[in-house]
């Protein structure tokens, strides 16, 4: 008995000493902070991943800074990201608490926000995996191919609206997969609803935007209080997001109950083959997962395909080589997803788009659940951790001449090793890796290969016939897209366009 007590006492002493030794280590290096506000004055308002990459040149791959009382850590190389987010996933897979967004706006149960410790976390992942694994995504090919044909027709009719056509395509695919909803036009109600959610989300989650995130006690201030405008704004945001979650789900449920519905993620889970009727808790989880399909899938594909248009206008020789490969391999028909293994250059082109313009340059934030040490530094519990995916994708140690767009880096000469496939990091790390990565990649491949086969993309011309050099700049949000730019899109293969056979579908929204 005494031996057991002594052993426990020694173990406790070791734990205490271990924790004290952590705190004797220095914090990771970073820019000098002010006493009260930390590094708020140094936070960039646009493209923060570029600033963090510059900081790493002075402070090393692991950069620490503070926003008021919140500790932040940026991982600027693949090695440190893998060391912490993959090898120590049990410590780094949680999400930080954003009081405004999660608590006051009511988004704490959203799939991408939920704590890894919450009982729903594993259920969410299981539900999404069942609908997004490689076998399941094969059943969506007819939807993807039909919507790609509609995209091609749209580009032929109004090429100047190419971004709207891209958004319609991505939204149409994922809305039919998630809910069975058929998008009829570019200004579709559900697509517009989801696009608005992206804008609202980007506004809410800006670092340092809300004082309540730094001082959570402020959340108890009533909304009628003179300085509680954030409470009133949170109520507006909460109502907006409630529409986004509930309206599509309610429509899908109504269709299912009427017996006139298209098979979808929602229908397959609300009416599973085993006959089990989900209870209200299970239905709520299905609703959140369906919403996550759009949030995680559509905007990613829009970002990739929009960047593709910019890059093709800047690199016509890349476009010509991809077209030659499709002509040689596919012939006089539109490419399909099954052609992907036989189109290595087009596949390499997609990889290079993912690398050159990563859609989520900082990924989603992770949270450290207990004190940790790394390379002689102390990382405190509760630290918010970002992987600087943009910096990894432009690391000259991984990608020589990283600013150059060059698909051939993934097609080296015989005997040489290809450069690292960006798929290994652009979709996240550890337990938080995007479950729909394969589906997003295949959607992007199908769209890109069909556009290459059917159209020529080049720089726009001004009134005198001179080429307009597009500005290369990116939006600043969780998912970052190239900012609007002009380009010229002309039909390359009228025969392929003439072969399109489209089916029409309609919805009734009550």
Between CA 343 and CA 450 the distance in angstroms is 12
130 and 313 Cβ atoms separated by less than 8 Å: no
Query: Which residues does the annotation place in the binding site?
Result: 434
- For the chain, the straight-line distance linking the first and the last C-alpha, in angstroms and rounded, comes to 72
3-class SS shares of the chain: helix, strand, coil, % to 5: 55, 10, 35
DSSP-assigned states of every residue in 104-173:
IS--TTSTTTS-TTSTHHHHHHHHHHHHHSHHHHHTTHHHHHHHHHHHHHHHHH-GGGHHHHHHHHHHHH
- Look-up: residue for tokens 């395909």? 305
Pick left, alpha or beta for residue 144 (phi over 0 → left; psi -120 to 50 → alpha; otherwise beta): alpha
Q: Mapped to the 3 state alphabet, what secondary structure does 195-237 carry?
A: HHHHHHHHHHCCCCCCHHHHCHHHHHCCCCCCCCHHHHHHHHH
What tokens were used for 278? 């989900």
Neighbours of 193 (CB within 10 A): 17
Between CA 351 and CA 353 the distance in angstroms is 5
- Residue 269 to residues 119, 156, 281: CA-CA distances in angstroms? 19, 38, 13
Q: Please list the residues that pair with 374 across neighbouring strands.
A: 377
Query: Which residues does the annotation place in the binding site for heme?
Result: 434
Between CA 428 and CA 505 the distance in angstroms is 36
């Amino acid at each position: 008995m005494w031996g057991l007590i002594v052993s426990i006492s020694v173990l406790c002493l070791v734990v205490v000493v271990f924790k004290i030794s952590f705190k004797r280590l220095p914090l990771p290096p970073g820019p000098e902070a002010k006493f009260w506000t930390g590094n708020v004055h140094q936070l960039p308002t646009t493209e923060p991943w570029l600033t963090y990459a510059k900081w790493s040149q002075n402070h090393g791959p692991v950069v620490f800074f503070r926003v008021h009382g919140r500790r932040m850590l940026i991982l600027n190389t693949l090695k440190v990201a893998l060391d912490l987010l993959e090898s120590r996933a049990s410590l780094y897979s949680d999400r930080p608490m954003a009081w405004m967004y999660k608590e006051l706006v009511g988004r704490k149960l959203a799939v991408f926000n939920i704590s890894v410790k919450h009982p729903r976390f594993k259920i969410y992942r299981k539900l999404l995996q069942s609908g997004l694994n490689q076998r399941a995504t094969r059943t969506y090919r007819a939807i993807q191919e039909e919507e790609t044909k509609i995209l091609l027709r749209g580009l032929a009719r109004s090429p100047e609206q190419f971004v709207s056509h891209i958004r319609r395509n991505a939204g149409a695919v994922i809305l039919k997969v998630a809910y069975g909803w058929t998008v009829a036009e570019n200004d579709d109600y559900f697509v517009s609803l989801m696009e608005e959610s992206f804008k609202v989300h980007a506004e809410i989650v800006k670092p340092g935007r809300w004082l309540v995130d730094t001082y959570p006690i402020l959340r108890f201030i009533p909304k009628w209080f003179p300085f509680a405008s954030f409470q009133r704004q949170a109520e507006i945001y909460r109502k907006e997001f409630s529409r986004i979650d509930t309206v599509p789900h309610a429509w899908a449920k109504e269709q299912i109950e009427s017996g006139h519905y298209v098979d979808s993620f929602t229908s397959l889970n609300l009416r599973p083959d085993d006959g089990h009727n989900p209870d209200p808790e299970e239905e709520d989880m299905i609703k959140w997962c369906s919403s996550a399909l759009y949030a995680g899938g559509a905007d990613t594909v829009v970002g990739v395909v929009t960047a593709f248009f910019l890059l093709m206008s800047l690199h016509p020789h890349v476009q010509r080589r991809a077209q030659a490969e499709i002509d040689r391999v596919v012939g006089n028909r539109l490419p399909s997803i099954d052609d992907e293994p036989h189109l290595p250059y087009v596949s390499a082109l997609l990889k290079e788009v993912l690398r050159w313009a990563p859609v989520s340059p900082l990924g989603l934030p992770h949270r450290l659940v207990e004190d940790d040490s790394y390379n002689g530094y102390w990382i405190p519990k509760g630290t918010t951790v970002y992987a600087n995916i943009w910096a990894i994708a432009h690391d000259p140690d991984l990608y020589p001449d990283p600013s150059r767009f060059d698909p051939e880096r993934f097609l080296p000469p015989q005997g040489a090793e290809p450069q690292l496939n960006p798929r290994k990091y652009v979709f996240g790390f550890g337990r938080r890796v995007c479950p729909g990565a394969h589906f997003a990649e295949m959607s992007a491949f199908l769209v890109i290969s069909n556009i290459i086969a059917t159209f020529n993309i080049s720089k726009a011309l001004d009134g005198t016939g001179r080429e307009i050099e597009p500005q290369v700049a990116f939006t600043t949000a969780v998912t970052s897209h190239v900012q609007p730019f002009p380009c010229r899109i002309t039909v390359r293969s009228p025969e392929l366009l003439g072969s399109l056979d489209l089916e029409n579908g309609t919805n009734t929204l009550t």
